[in-house]
Chains A and B, each alone.
Chain A
C-alpha cells in the first residue's frame, strides 16, 4: 500500500460531504477503492439508458454536464457527486453525462459505500434527503447549484426530476384489466391470461382502485404458499395501491416506482385512490421509454462507429436481459435475442476488419471463409459475456498463396477477437480464439484435425471435440460450415467407437447431489461452500445432448434445449425425459444468468443457502433428468464393458 497516494485521495474526499461525515478509518477505506479516470472535453462518461455502473462519481477537476437530447439539465462542479440516483434505484441512467471541460473523475464502488450507509446514519440521511428532493447532483455547496441554474436559465418548477424524458415519450396502457374484490384468484388469473397482461386492478363499484394483483403475487403469495385459487382476490391483493395522475411526468411516475419498489403503478383521474382508474404504468413501459428493446439495440449496433460504442450498447443489452429473465420471458426468445446481438457485433467487426485489411490483400477477397463461434456462443446459449471461444476456417488456396492467406486470416481473426475484448468478452484462457494460429486454418487442415481427434480420442482430444464440435458459422460461407459438419458425421460413422469414448467422457462430470439429496458444494478454495452450477448441472446436460445428437447424426441443431427437443422427436419412447431435460436446461440457464447479473460474475457458483425455497426446489428438480439420461447412455454405449 502506498499511504502517500491514499492520503492524497482521502484528503480531497474529506473536504466534501458526505465523505466529511466519515471516520478517518472508513474514509481511508473508501479512498483506497477509488478508480480515477480522465475525460477530454465532450467525452461521454455514461449515456441515458445504459445500465448503472457499479460506481458513483465525484468530480475531482473540470466540469461535467448532465444532458438530455443535447439540452443541459444539470451542471456538476468540483466536489459534486453524481450517478447516484441510477445506482440506488438500480435502474439505467436517465441522462447523458459528458465532460464540459477536461475532467478528472473519481469513481467509488457502490458496495463499499453501501456498507457505510448502513453504519453511518448521517451519510444515509444525506442521501435520503437528496433522493427525496429528486436531486440528480449531490452538491458540495448549494450556492453553486443556484449559480448553475441561473447560468442555464432554469425555471422554478425544475425542482422535480427533470432528468427523465418528457411526457410525449411515455407509453401508458389505457386499457386496464379490473375485477371485483369478491372474484376468485382463479377468475382473476384467467382474465389476465386471456388478455395476456401481468397485472389486474381490483376495484369497488365506482371503479375506484382498492388493490392490485400481479404475476409475481400469484407465484409467491398463492402457489408458493399452497393457497387455494378459489380464495377471493381481496385476500391476496396488495392494498392499498399507490396512485398517480395520468398527466404526471415520467420522472414522478418512475421515482414513485423506485421508492416503493413497485413494478406496476395505477393511474387514477385525480391521482388519489378516491377516483376512477384510468391507466396503468409498468416496468415494461419504463423499459420501452428508455429505448432498450432488441430492435433498437441491434439498429444501434449496426450504426455504431467504433468498437467502444458497440461495447456500450452491449452493456445496455444486459439491462434488457435482466428484465427478460426476471419476467420469465421464454428462454428460447431470450437466448435468441442475445445471440443475435452477439452475432451482430462479430459480423460488424468482420466487415470493418475486411475493410481495413483487403487493400493490402486484394487476392483474398475471393477466398471463402467462415468465422466460427464455439462453446456456449456456438450453442446460442451465451447470455452473459463469459469467455470467447472462436475460430476461423477458409477455403484451400493454391500453394503460392498459402502464406498470404494464413497471414490475412490470422489478422482478420485477431481483429474480431480484439473487438470482442473491447466489448467486454474476456479472452479464452485456453487460447481457443481466432487470434491463435492453431485455430485459423484452411478447410483441409480442419478436416485433418477433426479426423485426428476422432481417430485418437485422448482426453485432450475429447475435451477439444466438446468445444469445437459445437461450432456455428456466424459470418461467411455456410457451405464451408456444412462441409465441416458432414465431415464430422462421416468420420464418426467410420469410427463409431469414438462415441463410446465421448459417452464415457460425458459421464465424468461431478454429480450435483449427495446421498442425502444435499447440494454437493466446493470443499475448498475461492468458491468454498458454493455450488458449481456449470460443472455439476449444465455441463452434464450439454455433453449428453451433444453425444446423442452426434449418435443420431442430426446436423444444424446446436442449442442444448433445442437438441433435447429434437431428440424427443427422434426417440419418442423417451419423449418425456428429453422434454424434461430441455426444461431443466432452460431453468439452469436462467438461474445462472440471474446469479451472474446480481453478482457481476460468470454466475457459475451459487451459494445454495442464499436461494429461496422455491429456487432450491426448482434447482434440485432440474437434476432429475441428468441421472436418468446418464443411465441410458451407460447402457447404450456399453460403458460397463468399455471401462475395464
Chain B
C-alpha cells in the first residue's frame, strides 16, 4: 500500500520523541575524536532489497574514549513480518532466540545508540533497514551523525577528492579491508561478529586519519 497517498503517518512514540530531543545541542566541531562516542553496528538481513527484505539480527558494540568496550556488545533478533512463514528456514540459518517485537526492538535500539555517532560498513543500507522497523513507532530517520567505514577507508587511501568511478569496490569490501588492515576475520556473517570486525577496522582507520591531521569531529565529518 505504499502508493496510497493518504496513509496516515504513524504517531511518534514517547521514546522516539525522547530520542529526538537528544540532538538539540550539536557536537562542537573541535571536540577531539578520542572524546567522541561511537556505536558500531551491523545487521544480517534476508536480502538486499530494503522494500521486501527484513532484518534477521542486529549486532552492535560501543567505542568510548578510543576503546572498544566488549561489555557493551549486543546481538538482538527483531521479529519480522514474515516470521510465521519463514520461521523454520530462519531457525536453520541462525539460532534466533528472544525475538523482539518491532516496538520493543526500536525502543531498545534508540536507547542503545543515544546521540552517539553511528558507524558501519555500507551503513546506509543498515540504517534504512533499521528505520523500517522503527517506522511503525514514528521514527522517520536517524538523527545521529553517521560514518561509513567504506567511505572513510576510500577517503584515507585516495584523498578527499576521489573519483568514485575509479575505485575498485572489491578492494573495499569488509573482507578485503580486514585482510589489508590485518584483522583476523573468523566470525564473518553474524551481525555481532561483523560489528566487532568493523569496530576494530574503525580504530585502525582513525589512527591513519590522525596521522593525516584528522583529529576532531569537524575534520572527520568535513
Complex contacts, B207 vs chain A, CB 8 Å: 38-40, 102
Stretch at the interface among A27-35, A199-207, A280-288: A27-35
Interface residue from A34, A61, A422 paired with B70 (Cβ < 8 Å):
A34
Complex contacts, B182 vs chain A, CB 8 Å: 61
Contact status of A422 and B68, CB under 8 A, knowing A2-B192, A4-B59, A37-B203: no
Contact status of A308 and B193, CB under 8 A, knowing A33-B71, A102-B207, A107-B67: no
A2 and B59 alpha carbons, distance in the complex (Å): 7
Complex contacts, A37 vs chain B, CB 8 Å: 66-68, 203
Complex contacts, B25 vs chain A, CB 8 Å: 431
Complex contacts, A31 vs chain B, CB 8 Å: 70
Complex contacts, B204 vs chain A, CB 8 Å: 38, 102
As a 0/1 sequence over residues 201 to 217 of chain B, the CB contacts with chain A under 8 angstroms (1 = contact) are 00110010011000000
Give the shortest distance, in Å, between B46 (CB) and chain A (any CB): 20
Interface of B is mostly: mixed
Q: Is B28 an interface residue (CB 8 A)?
A: yes
As a 0/1 sequence over residues 12 to 43 of chain B, the CB contacts with chain A under 8 angstroms (1 = contact) are 00000000000001001011101100000000
Stretch at the interface among A68-76, A413-421, A552-560, A563-571: A413-421
Contact present for A422 and B34 (CB under 8 Å): yes
As a 0/1 sequence over residues 275 to 309 of chain A, the CB contacts with chain B under 8 angstroms (1 = contact) are 00000000000000000000000000000000110
Contact present for B196 and A32 (CB under 8 Å): no
Complex contacts, B32 vs chain A, CB 8 Å: 307-308, 418, 422
Contact status of A4 and B200, CB under 8 A, knowing A40-B211, A422-B34: no
Q: Is A582 an interface residue (CB 8 A)?
A: no
Complex contacts, A34 vs chain B, CB 8 Å: 70-71
Interface residue from B31, B66, B192, B210 paired with A5 (Cβ < 8 Å):
B192
Complex contacts, B30 vs chain A, CB 8 Å: 414-415, 418
Complex contacts, A102 vs chain B, CB 8 Å: 204, 207
Number of A-B pairs, beta carbon distance below 8 Å: 91
Contact present for A4 and B34 (CB under 8 Å): no
- In chain B, residues 58-110, which have Cβ atoms closer than 8 Å to a Cβ of chain A? 59-61, 66-71, 73-75
Complex contacts, B186 vs chain A, CB 8 Å: 8
Contact present for B28 and A36 (CB under 8 Å): no
Q: Is A341 an interface residue (CB 8 A)?
A: no
Interface residue from A2, A6, A38 paired with B203 (Cβ < 8 Å):
A38
Contact status of A1 and B73, CB under 8 A, knowing A8-B193, A421-B35: yes
Complex contacts, A8 vs chain B, CB 8 Å: 186-187, 193, 196
Give the shortest distance, in Å, between B116 (CB) and chain A (any CB): 15
As a 0/1 sequence over residues 401 to 432 of chain A, the CB contacts with chain B under 8 angstroms (1 = contact) are 00000000000001101100110000000010
- In chain A, residues 298-329, which have Cβ atoms closer than 8 Å to a Cβ of chain B? 307-308
A261 and B204 alpha carbons, distance in the complex (Å): 42
Contact present for A4 and B187 (CB under 8 Å): yes
Q: Is B146 an interface residue (CB 8 A)?
A: no
Give the shortest distance, in Å, between B64 (CB) and chain A (any CB): 9
User: Looking across the interface, which residue of chain B has its beta carbon closest to that of A39?
Assistant: B207
A5 and B191 alpha carbons, distance in the complex (Å): 10
Give the shortest distance, in Å, between A28 (CB) and chain B (any CB): 11
Q: Is B190 an interface residue (CB 8 A)?
A: yes
A32 and B204 alpha carbons, distance in the complex (Å): 22
User: Looking across the interface, which residue of chain A has its beta carbon closest to that of B76?
Assistant: A2
Which range holds the interface residue count of chain A? 20 to 34
Complex contacts, A38 vs chain B, CB 8 Å: 66, 200, 203-204, 207
Complex contacts, A33 vs chain B, CB 8 Å: 70-71
A3 and B30 alpha carbons, distance in the complex (Å): 36
Contact present for B59 and A435 (CB under 8 Å): no
Complex contacts, A307 vs chain B, CB 8 Å: 32
Interface residue from A6, A418, A431 paired with B73 (Cβ < 8 Å):
A6
A9 and B71 alpha carbons, distance in the complex (Å): 11
Interface residue from A5, A39, A418, A422 paired with B61 (Cβ < 8 Å):
A5
A421 and B32 alpha carbons, distance in the complex (Å): 9
Complex contacts, B59 vs chain A, CB 8 Å: 2, 4-5
A226 and B94 alpha carbons, distance in the complex (Å): 71
Contact present for A32 and B71 (CB under 8 Å): yes
Contact present for B210 and A36 (CB under 8 Å): no
Interface residue from A5, A9, A35, A422 paired with B67 (Cβ < 8 Å):
A35
Contact present for A5 and B70 (CB under 8 Å): yes
Q: Is A440 an interface residue (CB 8 A)?
A: no
User: Looking across the interface, which residue of chain A has its beta carbon closest to that of B25?
Assistant: A431
Contact present for A418 and B70 (CB under 8 Å): no
Contact status of A6 and B70, CB under 8 A, knowing A40-B211, A418-B31: yes
As a 0/1 sequence over residues 1 to 20 of chain A, the CB contacts with chain B under 8 angstroms (1 = contact) are 11111101100000000000
Complex contacts, B190 vs chain A, CB 8 Å: 4
Contact present for B73 and A421 (CB under 8 Å): no
Complex contacts, B68 vs chain A, CB 8 Å: 35-37
Max chain B Cβ within 10 angstroms of own Cβ: one of A2, A32, A35, A415: A2
Complex contacts, B195 vs chain A, CB 8 Å: 2, 5
As a 0/1 sequence over residues 34 to 62 of chain A, the CB contacts with chain B under 8 angstroms (1 = contact) are 11111110000000000000000000010
As a 0/1 sequence over residues 56 to 95 of chain A, the CB contacts with chain B under 8 angstroms (1 = contact) are 0000010000000000000000000000000000000000
Give the shortest distance, in Å, between B23 (CB) and chain A (any CB): 15
Contact status of A2 and B69, CB under 8 A, knowing A307-B32, A421-B31, A422-B35: no
Give me 17 other A-B pairs in contact (C-beta within 8 A), A4-B192, A5-B195, A37-B68 excluded.
A5-B59, A5-B196, A6-B73, A8-B186, A32-B71, A35-B67, A35-B70, A36-B67, A37-B203, A38-B203, A61-B182, A102-B207, A107-B67, A417-B28, A418-B35, A421-B31, A421-B35
Q: Top 10 closest A-B pairs, CB basis?
A: A2-B192, A36-B68, A2-B73, A2-B75, A38-B203, A4-B192, A5-B73, A35-B67, A34-B70, A40-B207
The contact sample of 27 A-B pairs, CB cut-off 8 A, is A1-B75, A2-B60, A2-B73, A2-B75, A2-B195, A3-B75, A3-B192, A4-B187, A5-B59, A6-B73, A8-B196, A31-B70, A32-B71, A33-B70, A35-B67, A35-B68, A35-B69, A36-B68, A37-B66, A37-B68, A40-B207, A104-B200, A414-B30, A415-B30, A418-B31, A422-B34, A422-B35
